[in-house]
Amino acid sequence: MIVALIGYNTSIEEALKVCDNFDALLIDPPSIKSKDELDLAWFLAEKSFKDKKNIANKFKYEFLLWLTGKRDITSAMKISMPKNNVAFLILFNSDKKKILKALNAKEKKSELKKEADALSLEHMSLSRIKD
């Protein structure tokens, strides 16, 4: 997984289409507070597929479900959709240079913390426990 904070010069609709052609996601920066959250979402998505308990058919969407703490892709996409032309680009199996060019994007300096607070991790970990 490659994570980059980017500024892009296309509409959000066009940017999402580009990401559909690559194995990538665009995430609103406030949705990600730390590297730990990304690592945990990755781990839980991998485990879901291994245990055959995944909700999404594609890994990137299973990852998004865990990252947002949601159980359906529509609500996960809604809360994580970039609000302006700055977003975290999450690449799973894509060429960063090619997607940056396709998005007409430039990488920005990220202030992403390494460690997460316990509540954020707990929210993700417990998101699939049914009431």
Q: What percentage of the chain reaches a pLDDT higher than 90?
A: 76
CA dihedral of 100, 17, 67, 127, whole degrees rounded to 10? 180
Predicted pLDDT at 130: 59
What 3-state class would DSSP assign to 18?
Answer: helix
pLDDT tens digits along 52-89:
999 999 999 999 999 999 999 999 999 999 998 999 99
Q: How far apart are CA 55 and CA 65, in angstroms?
A: 8
Chain mean pLDDT for the chain = 91
Q: How far apart are CA 119 and CA 131, in angstroms?
A: 18
CB-based contacts of 52: which residues, under 8 Å, 6+ apart?
none
Q: Is 74 exposed, middle or buried (0-12, 13-18, 19+ CB in 10 A)?
A: exposed
pTM: 0.89
